[in-house]
Structure 1
Amino acid sequence: MATLLPPKSKKQKKEHANPISIEVPENFPLVQIEFKASDGSNSISSLLVPGNSSVKQLETLVNQLIGNKDDPVPLTFALEGDAGSNLEIPDNLYSTIFQPGLKKTEDHLTILYTPQAIFRVRAVTRCSAAMNGHDGTIIAAQFAPNNSSRLVTGSGDFTARLWDCDTDTPIATLRGHRNWVCCVAWAPDASVIATGSMDNTIRFWEPKKGLPQGEPLRRHTKPIMSLCWQPLHLCKNNESPKLVSGSKDNTVRIWNPKLRTLLFTLSGHTAPITCVKWAGNDWIYSASYDKTIRVWDAKDGKCLHILQAHAARINHLALSTDHILRTGAYDHTNFKPKSPEEERVRAKERYEEVIKSQGEERLVSASDDLQLMLWNPLKSTKPIAKMHGHQKVVNHASFSPDGRYIATASFDNSLRLWDGKTGKFIATLRGHVASVYQCAWSSDSRLLVSSSQDTTLKVWDVRTKQLKFDLPGHEDQVFAVDWAPDGQRVASGGADKKVRIWKH
């Protein structure tokens, strides 16, 4: 059995959730550890390591052992438990495992390591712009998938607006709807913007100058509640992405935006649709007030499964691949495709990398029954986990870009973090003093931003599970928040009718 000693350090202190720092003894016995990759791709035979080793020392050690000495990768560590109940190690082995008495130094430990994003997103700390223009409450906001310089917002003033975030000025007002604009969605190749309204129509807009593209789609008979684009890697022969819409008329419809044609009407729900998602395996998920989630085959519109477990209406769905499907070919490297074909190939490569590291696409649903359900619809129509804990309606759920965590926002004034694979509860994030409406992840999965009825945004550190920055500035409740995929900006909007841009 090998003995490897990471470099000795001075006294280390535990600086996260516990306000009383725990002093780590300098001389502490060696413990026997087996390191395993969390995705099961690699394991390192048992070796002796000081029981007071910090996460930074473990990271250096494991990078040496797996051959990344010259190009180390950031890693997180967790103590493997029974039935997937792994314990995250935020600071060091001593304060997480030995000081609380979870293990003895004679025990054999299995430590799971997980690579993190090599790039790092800096937390937003200040409001760089408060942009006026809307005459009604802002209820939707989304950055372009390829950069943070373009933002679209939807409002109760019957318009959407396109903003230039480099100059903090409006590019265009997207006029045409005759009622509230409930949802906005950028195509994953950033070629077009879709807006859905309470006037029962969907409109399309050119993203450079905000000019309308063709006639609106009018086949829905009640307000449009949700829009989602076809993932870029599923588009064939240079076709443009298709669009799926969910409406209060109880139907889901699949469109060809370029030809302005309706391809399929998906009927079966008995109450309004609240959320639609187009998954990377070409399935479409729809959630409804009728307490069910339906799974559709996008190729022919057939209903494949009905997921039933909730006891009240379902408010929101999130996929473990949402981030990669939204961004398509684009990432932090400022990739610029030379052709649509190259763009699709790159999008497919990125999606396959994520599936390889995460496993199959998972789905989470948030409901008025105060619960969340975690699903793997490829394997079963029964939930992997029923996630209890929120005391009021769960309004929003979101997977971290790496698929490791789920963040949920509730009317009980809190957010909760859950394990993205097992659904196990991890932490409650408290700080808001009124209902939390939405949350958005930074693209490196290290930070989370939330918007609330209490007029503030809050930035949370996922490693420490603590509030990192409080962002006051809005004069009324904040309904919409989005973190740009390139990590540079956060946008928010709400009842004060102002769009605020936040930077580091």
Structure 2
Amino acid sequence: MKLLKIHMRYHPPGIILEYSQKGVVKSKEIDLLDLNCDTNIPSLAARLYAKEVLLTEDVKDQLEQCLTTLKKRVEHEGPAGKRFYIYKTLMTHVLPLTNVAFDKTGQRCLSGSYDRTCKVWDVESGKELKTLAGHQNVVYSVAFNFPSCNRVITGSFDKSARIWDPETGECLATLWGHGGEVVAAQFSAKGDLAATGSMDHTAKLFDVKTGEEIHTYSGHTAEVIALQFDPNEGQRLITGSFDGTISMWDTRMRDRVSVLCGHEGEISNVQFNWDSSLVGSSSLDGSAKLWDARQSSCLATVSGHTDEVLDICFDWAGQRMATASSDCSARVYDVRTDFTELAVMKGHREEVSKVCFSPAGGSLLTASADRTARIWNTSTGNCTQVLSGHQGEIFSCAYSYAGDAIITASKDNTCRIWRWGVMKYNIVAGSEGLMPGELCVDSSDTDRDKLANAVCAERVDAC
């Protein structure tokens, strides 16, 4: 075996060794999930040399350089980090939005709407690149196929899902077969499969290239409102239902592998962790559960919230889980222990419907019906910033893969792009005029830049 290249993987931190074996180029991933600001790089490099035969003294400098870069990426986020400033307001649709998503580069984003369309946006310019039109009802679910992001899937209340080319706007396939609204749709990790969840109590598996149905997954007794492929191979699929159960499926088979029972109310979300060893679930019964994905057993149940748990997510390393609740709070738990509660985030005035970790894991982003999104320190639970300005409930939010941008979507029919750093101007895209309170300045004028920074800093409230 001969080592050819060392690639870095930022989130979760790791390295990918590209090597040749008998003339065939292969790759091997090494997770560095415990990498943090205090990691001793020479010591870590030494441990890797001892474990991995592909790493020799010949690549010592290159390896340590990669490890140092990964460490800096982790250190990039912290209490002393820069603030997010509003960068653009996208006047996206004529009716309220349903969902948003970044591509991997953070250069494009998607927005779905009640106006029956999905739009593709250029994040830097705020320009609408394509309108994906063809659905006959609400476009409820939107997603790119990571990591290539050269396809988009949309799920609609018209009982179908569609696969699109985001560059041309062409519909490549329409996925038919459901007897109810499609409320969840996702690509597998390899991008060759697509899964849909529907109000007709079923999930379906499709071939992306042909659009042909492969399996119909039956067994739930109520609406299937959440699903996810395992992040690695895409050979497993989990579905969450209003029947209070989570089902696990092998994509090579039609029948269920297992059923995770224990919740006493409707499931609001389900997720795999990074290595697919754990499953997290949130429920309207006010609890969240952690499951062993291999043994199909419940490892822990938490009931610290005093109202419905509306969302759940793992951090990139799969070591912590966060929950969002109608009790106006979010919470973070350590999944490596017996689900120890690490932090409680209180400050929103109305329900918290969405929660997501920053890529490096040091911050938590929440979206609320109180018209704000908030950024929290995941270690202390302190609010570090309030993202305000929307005129309606914020129901969706996301970090870019690099962690330097945030998108928030509101019932005021707009998306807002927030950038990490010093803001120079705020362009309102999709409209000739400015919204009340918006500022448009000449970025070449130093004094006006300073004024813009000052005004916008006031509009992004500190806690």
Shorter-chain TM-score category? Answer: 0.5 to 0.7
Alpha-carbon distance in 1 for matches of 2:416, 2:313: 21
Which amino acid is 1:87 matched to?
A
Which amino acid is 2:319 matched to?
E
Equivalent in the alignment of 1:58: none
Residue deviations 1:368-414 (CA, integer Å, cap 9, x gap): 11000011121243311110111111111111222232211111111
Q: CA deviation at 1:206?
A: 1.1
Alpha-carbon distance in 2 for matches of 1:395, 1:161: 26
Q: CA deviation at 1:68?
A: 6.5
Which amino acid is 1:225 matched to?
I
Q: 1:258 to 1:275 in 2, by over 3 A?
A: same
Q: CA deviation at 1:90?
A: 6.4
Percent identical across equivalent pairs?
25
Alpha-carbon distance in 2 for matches of 1:145, 1:79: 24
Within 5 Å, give how 1:327-366 maps onto structure 2: 355=317, 361-366=319-324
Q: CA deviation at 1:295?
A: 1.3
1:223 correspondence with 2:216: no
Q: Is the 8 A contact 1:460 1:466 kept in 2?
A: no
- Picking from 237, 242, 247, the partner of 2:236 is 242
Equivalent in the alignment of 1:185: 186
Equivalent in the alignment of 2:250: 256
Alpha-carbon distance in 2 for matches of 1:301, 1:76: 35
Equivalent in the alignment of 1:139: 140
Q: 1:121 to 1:176 in 2, by over 3 A?
A: closer
Residue deviations 1:126-177 (CA, integer Å, cap 9, x gap): 1111121011111111100132220001111111111111211111211111
Within 5 Å, give how 1:397-476 maps onto structure 2: 397-464=355-422, 470-472=428-430
In structure 2, list runs of 5 or more residues that go unmatched: 1-34, 42-63, 85-103, 108-122, 432-463
Alpha-carbon distance in 2 for matches of 1:68, 1:79: 16
Equivalent in the alignment of 1:151: 152
- Picking from 64, 68, 87, the partner of 2:80 is 87
1:393 correspondence with 2:351: yes
Equivalent in the alignment of 1:39: 37
- Picking from 330, 333, 336, the partner of 1:372 is 330
3-state SS of paired residue (1:383): strand
Q: 1:74 to 1:384 in 2, by over 3 A?
A: closer
Equivalent in the alignment of 2:117: none
Equivalent in the alignment of 2:295: 300
Q: 1:380 to 1:87 in 2, by over 3 A?
A: farther
Q: 1:162 to 1:212 in 2, by over 3 A?
A: same
Which amino acid is 1:304 matched to?
L
Alpha-carbon distance in 2 for matches of 1:400, 1:86: 13
Q: CA deviation at 1:257?
A: 2.0
Q: Is the 8 A contact 1:461 1:467 kept in 2?
A: no
Alpha-carbon distance in 1 for matches of 2:69, 2:79: 24
Instruction: Quote the RMSD (CA, aligned, Å).
Output: 3.1
Equivalent in the alignment of 2:112: none
Which amino acid is 1:231 matched to?
P
Which structure has greater strand proportion?
2
Q: 1:426 to 1:252 in 2, by over 3 A?
A: same
Q: CA deviation at 1:77?
A: 10
Q: 1:432 to 1:471 in 2, by over 3 A?
A: farther
Within 5 Å, give how 1:40-189 maps onto structure 2: 40-42=38-40, 86-88=79-81, 121-122=106-107, 123-124=123-124, 125-189=126-190
- Picking from 267, 272, 275, the partner of 2:269 is 275
Alpha-carbon distance in 2 for matches of 1:209, 1:79: 43
Q: Is the 8 A contact 2:374 2:386 kept in 1?
A: yes
Q: Is the 8 A contact 2:37 2:71 kept in 1?
A: no
Q: CA deviation at 1:222?
A: 0.3
Q: CA deviation at 1:75?
A: 5.2
Alpha-carbon distance in 1 for matches of 2:281, 2:429: 34
Q: Is the 8 A contact 2:343 2:378 kept in 1?
A: no
Alpha-carbon distance in 2 for matches of 1:268, 1:465: 48
Q: Is the 8 A contact 2:156 2:181 kept in 1?
A: yes
Q: Is the 8 A contact 1:77 1:89 kept in 2?
A: no
Alpha-carbon distance in 1 for matches of 2:71, 2:299: 40
Alpha-carbon distance in 2 for matches of 1:142, 1:120: 14
Q: Is the 8 A contact 1:78 1:86 kept in 2?
A: no
Alpha-carbon distance in 2 for matches of 1:466, 1:392: 32
Rg (Cα) greater in structure: 1
Q: Is the 8 A contact 1:456 1:470 kept in 2?
A: no
Alpha-carbon distance in 1 for matches of 2:346, 2:377: 13
Residue deviations 1:270-324 (CA, integer Å, cap 9, x gap): 1111111111351111110111111111112111111121111111111111xxx
Which amino acid is 2:312 matched to?
L
Equivalent in the alignment of 2:285: 290
Q: TM-score, normalised by structure 1?
A: 0.62
3-state SS of paired residue (1:412): coil
Alpha-carbon distance in 2 for matches of 1:77, 1:173: 41
Alpha-carbon distance in 1 for matches of 2:307, 2:423: 30
Q: 1:461 to 1:89 in 2, by over 3 A?
A: closer
Q: 1:158 to 1:87 in 2, by over 3 A?
A: same
In structure 1, list runs of 5 or more residues that go unmatched: 1-36, 44-66, 92-118, 322-354, 474-504
Q: Name the stretch that deviates more: 204-213 or 151-160.
A: 204-213
Q: Is the 8 A contact 1:314 1:368 kept in 2?
A: yes
Alpha-carbon distance in 2 for matches of 1:159, 1:467: 40
Which amino acid is 1:40 matched to?
D
Q: Is the 8 A contact 2:343 2:379 kept in 1?
A: no
Q: Is the 8 A contact 2:355 2:366 kept in 1?
A: yes
Alpha-carbon distance in 2 for matches of 1:424, 1:467: 28
Equivalent in the alignment of 2:315: 320
Alpha-carbon distance in 2 for matches of 1:258, 1:469: 48
Residue deviations 1:19-64 (CA, integer Å, cap 9, x gap): xxxxxxxxxxxxxxxxxx9521149xxxxxxxxxxxxxxxxxxxxx
